[in-house]
Amino acid sequence: VMYPYYAQWIRSHRDLPLRLNQWTNVVRWEFKYPTPFIRSREFLWQEGHTAFATQPEAEAEVLEVLELYRRVYEELLAVPVIKGKKSKKEQFAGAFYTTTVE
Protein backbone atom coordinates (compact mmCIF):
# COMPACT_ATOMS: atom_id res chain seq x y z
CA VAL A 1 0.00 0.00 0.00
CA MET A 2 2.72 2.49 0.92
CA TYR A 3 5.29 1.78 -1.79
CA PRO A 4 3.53 3.75 -4.58
CA TYR A 5 3.92 6.81 -2.34
CA TYR A 6 7.70 6.43 -2.07
CA ALA A 7 8.07 8.20 -5.44
CA GLN A 8 6.13 11.16 -4.02
CA TRP A 9 7.95 11.24 -0.68
CA ILE A 10 11.46 10.74 -2.04
CA ARG A 11 12.43 13.34 -4.63
CA SER A 12 16.18 13.50 -4.00
CA HIS A 13 18.94 12.11 -1.80
CA ARG A 14 18.09 14.84 0.71
CA ASP A 15 14.82 13.02 1.46
CA LEU A 16 16.76 9.98 2.66
CA PRO A 17 16.66 8.07 4.86
CA LEU A 18 12.91 7.52 4.96
CA ARG A 19 11.66 5.52 7.94
CA LEU A 20 8.07 4.32 8.32
CA ASN A 21 6.52 2.18 11.04
CA GLN A 22 3.36 0.14 10.56
CA TRP A 23 1.17 -1.44 13.25
CA THR A 24 -1.85 -3.52 12.31
CA ASN A 25 -4.06 -6.26 13.68
CA VAL A 26 -3.95 -9.49 11.68
CA VAL A 27 -6.65 -12.16 11.78
CA ARG A 28 -5.93 -15.60 10.32
CA TRP A 29 -8.66 -18.18 9.85
CA GLU A 30 -6.24 -20.86 8.68
CA PHE A 31 -6.95 -23.49 11.30
CA LYS A 32 -9.93 -24.80 13.24
CA TYR A 33 -8.68 -24.66 16.84
CA PRO A 34 -6.30 -21.88 17.89
CA THR A 35 -3.78 -22.63 20.62
CA PRO A 36 -3.80 -19.94 23.34
CA PHE A 37 -0.42 -18.25 23.87
CA ILE A 38 1.10 -20.21 20.98
CA ARG A 39 -0.94 -19.62 17.83
CA SER A 40 -4.03 -17.44 18.12
CA ARG A 41 -6.25 -16.16 15.35
CA GLU A 42 -5.59 -12.48 15.94
CA PHE A 43 -2.29 -10.81 16.72
CA LEU A 44 -0.65 -7.41 16.56
CA TRP A 45 1.79 -7.07 13.66
CA GLN A 46 4.54 -4.47 13.53
CA GLU A 47 6.91 -3.85 10.67
CA GLY A 48 9.28 -1.14 9.56
CA HIS A 49 9.74 0.14 6.04
CA THR A 50 12.75 2.22 5.08
CA ALA A 51 14.59 3.70 2.14
CA PHE A 52 18.31 4.47 2.26
CA ALA A 53 20.83 5.71 -0.27
CA THR A 54 22.92 2.52 -0.01
CA GLN A 55 22.38 -1.11 0.90
CA PRO A 56 25.04 -1.03 3.66
CA GLU A 57 23.15 1.85 5.34
CA ALA A 58 19.90 -0.14 5.15
CA GLU A 59 21.49 -3.28 6.56
CA ALA A 60 23.07 -1.33 9.43
CA GLU A 61 19.60 0.01 10.28
CA VAL A 62 18.19 -3.53 10.33
CA LEU A 63 20.83 -4.68 12.81
CA GLU A 64 20.30 -1.61 15.00
CA VAL A 65 16.52 -2.09 15.14
CA LEU A 66 16.85 -5.82 15.86
CA GLU A 67 19.11 -4.99 18.78
CA LEU A 68 16.61 -2.39 20.06
CA TYR A 69 13.85 -5.00 20.02
CA ARG A 70 16.07 -7.53 21.78
CA ARG A 71 16.81 -5.00 24.51
CA VAL A 72 13.11 -4.17 24.99
CA TYR A 73 12.16 -7.83 25.31
CA GLU A 74 15.06 -8.95 27.47
CA GLU A 75 15.88 -5.86 29.56
CA LEU A 76 12.41 -4.35 30.05
CA LEU A 77 10.08 -7.33 29.74
CA ALA A 78 12.47 -10.06 30.99
CA VAL A 79 11.58 -12.28 28.02
CA PRO A 80 14.52 -14.06 26.41
CA VAL A 81 14.53 -13.93 22.61
CA ILE A 82 16.46 -15.15 19.62
CA LYS A 83 17.10 -12.61 16.89
CA GLY A 84 17.99 -13.57 13.37
CA LYS A 85 16.82 -14.21 9.83
CA LYS A 86 13.73 -16.14 8.80
CA SER A 87 14.12 -19.21 6.60
CA LYS A 88 13.57 -18.85 2.84
CA LYS A 89 10.14 -20.44 3.32
CA GLU A 90 9.14 -17.78 5.91
CA GLN A 91 10.68 -14.85 4.03
CA PHE A 92 8.44 -12.06 2.75
CA ALA A 93 7.81 -12.20 -1.00
CA GLY A 94 10.28 -10.01 -2.85
CA ALA A 95 12.60 -9.59 0.14
CA PHE A 96 16.34 -10.27 0.08
CA TYR A 97 15.82 -11.61 3.59
CA THR A 98 13.39 -11.22 6.51
CA THR A 99 14.55 -10.65 10.08
CA THR A 100 12.83 -11.57 13.32
CA VAL A 101 12.98 -11.47 17.09
CA GLU A 102 11.25 -14.55 18.49
The three-state DSSP-derived secondary structure of 19-77 is: EEEEEEEEECCCCCCCECCCECCEEEEEEEEEECCCHHHHHHHHHHHHHHHHHHHHHHC
Secondary structure (3-state) at 101: strand
**pLDDT 10s digits, 47-97:** 888 999 999 999 999 999 999 999 999 999 999 999 999 999 999 888 899
Ramachandran sector of residue 94 (left: φ over 0; alpha: ψ -120 to 50; beta: rest) = left
Q: What is the pTM of this model?
A: 0.74
